[in-house]
Chain A
Amino acid sequence: MTEMDANEVAGAVSSEPLGDVIRTEALDLLEEVFVTHHGYILDRGTSLFDTLAGIDSETASLRYSPHCGTLAAQVNHTRFYLDVVLRAMRDGDTTRADWDSSWEVEAVSTAEWTALVAGLRASYEAVHAFIGSRDRWNEASVGDAMAIVAHSAYHLGEIRQALAVIPLLRPANADA
């Protein structure tokens, strides 16, 4: 499932400050999950935005299981998570978030789907800019950066697996 790049995996100990190393590596992983291949964890062309570019609003509106939200809800939840963690990292705002509400997205129109993806991209860019400009790290902020990468990767996995199921559902949905 990956084409890990040898240059990204093994090497000698460097004298680069750990904070700079963390920023560089966190950005690489963030970019790989959302926009482009760096050879760590994904196959080429399977980033989140690559994946979403191939999904129309009709597909995004399907529930592939009664136990799961629509793909549109997955996108909204992923965006919501970025916004919550960014507020915590940047502003120190740890107000309890209404996570359940982030899943309250059902069928979407083409315009609504486009707006959801655009909102996710804007939140991603805000997170990327913040991490890219950060020169002070502690355990909490490192954890937040890793969590953003991991949470987004988790939902990318759910979305891509759902895409393998949805063709099986289309006949039933079409008849409904």
Chain B
Amino acid sequence: MSDDPTTTATATPAIPVEEFRAALLTMLDEAFSGATAPSTFFTDKGTSLFETLDGIDAATASRRFSERASNIAAQVNHIRFYLDVLMEGLRSGWKPADWPGSWEVDAVSDAEWQELVDRLKASYAEVRTFAETNPAWNGDYVGGGIAIVAHTAYHLGEIRSSLAALQVPETPTQD
């Protein structure tokens, strides 16, 4: 079998690279910036990561609703760190990464919060450009692409759950 890009659009044993790429870009967009199609695959309209972060200020991003949960600012830093580690690994091979360090973000100022979001957007732009232009997809790239979608979705779920949780009183009833 070969990945012949001239193959028809119907299901074939050798899927054209462009069909895989289109599916990956659709999922990346839905996770990060929002679905452009009328229907969505795994999020509700308006709940992508960047749409969610647009509604969060520095004070909210700084709050921890539980000692067992990181704040949203740390979540954003961790998602960005994951993208950077993955892209660096794909480009030049794996190096040990300081995963615990990616969570070490406490309260942020307005400027710090904006910088975290901007850095995430820049890292995502790099990922998206790679997905748009990479000519050959082996297991590392395919797995990396799906992993980025899944990892982002996981933390989007945590962030949106945090936003719901932050509606509960910061100081719970103590008996």
Q: Which residues of A contact B (CB under 8 A)?
A: 1-4, 6, 8-14, 16-19, 21-22, 24-26, 28-29, 32-33, 40-42, 64-68, 81, 135-144, 146-147, 149-151, 153-165, 167-169, 171-172, 175
Contact = CB atoms under 8 A, between A and B. Distances in A.
B50 interface: no
5 contacts: A19-B13, A42-B154, A137-B15, A151-B41, A161-B69
Contacts of A18: 3, 14-15, 17, 20, 137, 142
Given A29-B146, A147-B27, A11 B154 contact: no
B27 A146 contact: yes
A60 B86 CA distance: 35
Interface in B22-70: 22-24, 26-27, 30-31, 41-43, 65-66, 68-69
B78 interface: yes
B129 interface: no
A2 B82 contact: yes
Contacts of B146: 25-26, 29, 146, 149
Interface of B: 1-3, 9-15, 17, 19-20, 22-24, 26-27, 30-31, 41-43, 65-66, 68-69, 78, 82, 85-86, 89-90, 92-94, 97, 99, 102-103, 136-140, 142-144, 146-147, 149-151, 153-162, 164-165, 167-168, 172-175
A139 B175 contact: no
A161 B157 contact: yes
Contacts of B157: 153-159, 161
B165 A65 contact: yes
A160 B70 CA distance: 12
A18 B137 CA distance: 7
B138 A66 contact: no
Contacts of A137: 11, 15, 19-20
B69 to A, nearest CB: 4
A136 B103 CA distance: 41
Nearest to A12: B138
A4 B143 CA distance: 12
Contacts of B94: 4, 6, 9-10
A89 B13 CA distance: 16
B3 A24 contact: no
Contact of A142 (B23, B150, B173): B23
Contacts of B86: 4, 9
Contacts of B22: 139
Contacts of B13: 17, 19, 135-136
